[in-house]
Amino acid sequence: MAVRIRHTGRYREIAMALMRHGFGYMVEELGLFQMLSLPRRRLKHEQTETKTLGERIRLVLEDLGPTFVKLGQLASTRSDLLPDTVIRELVKLQDQVPPFPAKAARSILEEELEAPVDEVFARFDDVPVAAASIGQVHLGKLKSGEAVAVKIQRPGALQTITRDLAILRDLSQIAEKRWEWARRYQLTKIVEEFSKSLLAEMDYSREGRNTEKIALQFQDDPYIFIPRIFWQYSSSRVMTMEYVEGITLSQPEQLEQSGFDPKLIAKRFVNAMLYQIFMEGFFHADPHPGNLILRKDGSLAFLDFGMVGRLSSDMKDHLSELIIALMRKNTDSMVRAILHLGLLPEDNDLDALRRDLDTLRDEYYDMPFSEIGIGKALSDLFGVAQRHAIMMPPDLTLLGKALLTMEGVIQKLDPELSIIDMAEPFGKKLIKDRFSPGRIRGKLLGSAAGLAEALLDMPSQARHLSALFSKGKLKVEISMPEMESLMRKLDQISNRLSFSIVLLAFSIIMVGLIIGSSMNRQSSILWHFPVIGIGLGVAFLMVVWLLYAIFKSGKF
């Protein structure tokens, strides 16, 4: 409520933009009419006749300015959340705004670098070469002689974005209370996820660290170039980087005129992207042609690391399972991989999911591998996930967007290049690494540690469960058809627990006897009986008996 009172004017702007483009019903259901005293007559002027839903959403975002444009661009990567018709409109959002004055740019520079501009730069161009909603780029030269590009954050951008994100969080909470679809898609979590991504993009020091991390991946590759960051002249609002001169990949004709082979450039670009994704698990998530420059020496430079994706080892494993399952037309394997990767709603219909995946599989059934685009295949799979409200990890959807963007670039450079063929050696290496002895040993050790921790934590969990029982706070819902299955599961759990406790107890006793005997340097003979030997024998017999009883019951 405090947010609404403090930013009433901005709430009004948002409500008016929604009504202007045919979303007056949302304003009404969100309760903004009463809160803002809006004129209901505006509802009659909704412009819904000729525009699609996606177009109207795009127009709303453009009307509301930089924060909403950036959020729309981020949302365009989430094909698991939005239909294709909306995604196609969101990708049209342009982040071009008029530049802010050079005087303001110099003022921010001096504030952040704590030194006059003329003391740091031998030359600083007041006219920016690019301007966007978050910042703009100026060219210059350091006193030490290096040509640089200086990215400077727009004045007040952080405050504006922080305000708008607070309003969006408030509106998403209201929406979850009023609409079932908002609760199902966990709208507040989505807004929070987008907020984190946008605020991370506002921090130029984070972008600098991303740049250096990618640079380490290619430090021994002469064909890939990552510009250097000058940290002594950078901060969270200013980033000074090595200036890169060359031809952008959006100009294939100029590349050929300059004597370069577009097909060779396409191969190097794809190889670099696949290496980042499948080997390093840390990749440039926005490789559009403007961020790719071919230098005079033939090396390919990557620019702008504000948006990056990360894939854990498990995510890479499940991703490879998903792609292999699609290529092999195996629906059950696709279902398993999607369930491993995404968050499945409790009421999801797995049979319906299988039917949709069967339909998708049939689309690729007779298509040669060389004609299948990985990005398109992933996008189609995420579309199926979206229809079944399966929440996919944000980095995975970023990957889908990055692959689609990559395919768009190489389509202009070499339409005959097969990404699948180039991805094959990376896939083989992934499989080899996955089943390597070291990897398996690490997973087994991790699982053993997790099991030991769970056993140690069992008493406290039991006390917590008992407390909930005693306070009447434990709610249990059991349907009769599930009772037999539940009782069988309980039998299995109790038998396994008994086995674990008996085994653990005898292990502790025997270890104690052995250690005590060795420390005191005394024989383990007690009353003429070899205690340790007998104990081990008894323990062995009891364990064998217990295992026999459990296996005989068929409920292990």
Alpha-carbon span 26 to 386, nearest angstrom: 22
How far CA 543 is from CA of 454, 489, 500, in Å, comes to: 22, 22, 10
* CA pair distance 245, 247, nearest whole angstrom: 7
Dist CA 257 CA 237 (whole Å): 39
Q: Which residue has the tokens 């926005």?
A: 286
Catalytic site residue 170? no
Rg (CA), the chain: 30
β-pairing, 300-302 with 224-225? Answer: parallel
Q: Give me the catalytic one of 80, 164, 170, 286.
A: 286
The answer to whether 383 and 84 have CB atoms below 8 angstroms apart is yes
Helix (H) or strand (E) holding 542: helix 531-553
Residue 336 to residue 322: CA distance in whole angstroms: 8
The helices-and-strands tally (H runs, E runs) of the chain is 24, 13
Q: How far is CA 284 from the centre of its chain?
A: 13
Residue pair 434/443 in contact by the 8 Å Cβ criterion: no
The residue type found at 355 is R
Q: Which one, of 378, 326, 389, lies nearest residue 353 by Cα?
A: 389
Helix (H, G, I), strand (E, B) or coil at 529: strand
Output phi, psi for 130, to 5 deg.
-155, 145
What is the distance between the terminal CA atoms of the chain, rounded to a whole angstrom? 55
Contact, 20 vs 63, CB < 8 A?
yes
Q: Which residues pair with 130 in a beta bridge?
A: 137
By CB atoms closer than 10 A (0-12, 13-18, 19+), residue 544 is exposed
Q: How far apart are CA 187 and CA 181, in angstroms?
A: 9
* Helix (H), strand (E) at residue 162: helix 157-178
Distance (Å, rounded) from C-alpha 86 to C-alpha 53? 7
DSSP H helices, 21-101, are 24-29, 32-36, 53-64, 66-75, 84-90
Active site (catalytic) residues? 286
